[in-house]
Amino acid sequence: MLTDTYRHKGLRKKLAQELAKSGITDQRVLDAVNKVPRHYFLSSAFLEFAYENKAFQIGAGQTISAPYTVATQSQLLKLKPGMKVLEIGTGSGYQTCILCEMGAKVYSIERQKSLHNNAKTLLASMGYKAHLIYGDGYKGLPAFSPFDRIIVTCAVPRVPEDLLMQLRPGGFLVMPYGEGEVQEMMVVTESEDGNFTSEIFGKFSFVPMLEKRNSAR
Ligand code: SAH
């Protein structure tokens, strides 16, 4: 049974205040952090750490991103309620819930079957209506395109062409770009006339984006 106590709520409020001090200015991001119980996404052994600004193992060799990383990507998306967002790398589903709280219609792809299944069960029990898909994020979701925004939550060694093709003109993609331990947060924008431009926003560290689906674990 998932319980959200006053203590958890207090820790969450403190986390949102810390994020505000660290430069997160989008109030809807802070409100969403304040609302989504992050401790539901960590195994019970780590409950004490759920509201620290740290990444954590979520099984299958993957991690739930640190709150500052989630907040930065969410802020860079400049979301408006009702926007259609594609997320690559559902992982624990925490980032997915933050986007739902911000009013987005979220489609999220995960290549690890076990993580996809866990997120599906958890988000349904929390009442979130995101569309969770088991598949390869490199391909995106052409059937549901175009998207207003695309967020990639694993490190991308090359710009995924298929994803750019699924952006609405004027839309943009936020992704950690690069190989190796540390990547640069990149925003790639498609102008109304179909040209692409990119901007860089600081360094972060993500697990790598891998090709194809993996049902092994
Ligand atoms: N947004 C997540 C972060 C998860 S870490 C959260 O809030 O918890 C990145 C995730 O990307 C991992 O779960 C990994 O399995 C997934 N991933 C890696 N390559 C992928 C691909 N090609 N398609 C879809 N998901 C992928």
Name the residue with the closest Cα to ligand 1, atom 4.
91
Which DSSP category does 92 fall into? T
Ligand 1 mean position to 115 CA, how many Å? 9
Q: Which is catalytic among the residues 44, 65, 74, 205?
A: 65
- The pLDDT tens digits of the residues spanning 71-103 come to 999 999 999 999 999 999 999 999 999 999 999
Structure confidence at residue 47 (pLDDT)? 75
Q: Is 108 considered catalytic here?
A: no
Residues in CB range of 98: below 8 A, 6 or more apart:
29, 32, 33, 36, 70, 71, 74
- By DSSP bridging, strand 62-64 and strand 56-59 are antiparallel
- Specify whether domain 65-204 bears CATH 3.40.50.150: yes
Whole-structure pTM value: 0.95
Q: What distance in Å separates the CA atoms of residue 175 and residue 199, rounded to the nearest whole number?
A: 11
* Tokens 């986390």 sit on residue: 15
Cα–Cα distances in angstroms (integers) from residue 83 to residues 1, 33, 92, 146, in the given order: 32, 19, 22, 11
What Rg value do the Cα atoms of the chain yield, rounded?
16
- Per the prediction, the chain carries an average pLDDT of 93
What percent of the chain stands above pLDDT 70? 98
Residue 87 CA, closest ligand 1 atom number: 1
